[in-house]
Amino acid sequence: MIRNGIGLARGIDPRWIAGCVVGVLVSASVWAQAQGQEAVADPHRGVVVAQADAGPAEKVEVPSEILVLHATNTGGGIDPELRNLKQLQKPPFSAYDTYRLLHRHSIVLKPQQPDSTQLPNGRTLRTVLKAVLPEDRFRVAASISRPPRERDKEGGYLPLLEVTAKSGEPFFVAGQSFRGGILVVGIQVGKEVPKEKAPAGK
């Protein structure tokens, strides 16, 4: 299911469920727009390097970034570093009035080589580059580890989520309960592509 740029995982705050009515995971435009992206769900599909000049898939390296936010209703407002992210002020993000940036770090994604990020709640985020596509797009898979008590009977990770994202435009995995709120994880693959400027006089 697609929920306005958010992949919802287990342990979701009920208020967040009520605010998210469109689905599970899509790519977003600088956290302010979530539209026009192609969601896919084929974990068996191999890496595709569609650009003619990209070279062999095994040599592809894509600079990326992980952001971990803590959303609560404690009246603290939005961290200055996050205030340019206008979507935090709109539903369903606006269900929470406080956003703190807990962690931000750079990673390099390579085809079919999982990158692991430890989350503040003890779970692990696993991110995999599945395909490099035309028009500065990437197919990316993300999953979060299950709680320890569930891993033996159901496997180590929650079901795989896949999304096609434009370079530099984050997508989200959100809903993990954490310290009176939830965690919101942003995954930005590639660098933001500068928009073409309109000719002078137009």
- Give the residue extent of every domain in the chain: 6-189
169 pLDDT above the threshold of 60:
yes
Full DSSP string of 116-148: EEE-TTS-EEEEEEEEEETTTEEEEEEEEBPPH
Q: pLDDT per residue over 50-82, tens digit each? A: 433 445 445 899 999 999 999 999 999 999 998
For residue 145, what are the β-bridge partners?
157
Element (H, E) at 150: helix 148-154
Rounded Cα gap, residues 109 and 128, in angstroms: 7
Tens digit of pLDDT for each residue in 5-28?
Answer: 455 554 555 444 333 433 333 333
Neighbouring-strand partners of residue 142: 127, 161
pLDDT at residue 191 greater than cutoff 90: no
Q: Is the per-residue pLDDT at 112 higher than 50?
A: yes
Provide the pLDDT for residue 64: 97
C-alpha to C-alpha distance for 177 and 123, rounded to whole angstroms: 11
The structure's pTM equals 0.69
Answer for the pair 157, 166: CB distance below 8 angstroms, yes or no.
no
The predicted-structure confidence for 127-144, as pLDDT tens digits, reads as follows: 999 999 999 999 999 999
| Highest mean predicted confidence (pLDDT) among 52-56, 112-116, 154-158 | 112-116
DSSP 82: G
Q: Count Cβ atoms within 10 A of the Cβ of residue 70 and give its class: 0-12 exposed, 13-18 middle, 19 or more buried.
A: buried
State the DSSP code for 98. E
Torsions phi, psi of 162, nearest 5? -125, 150
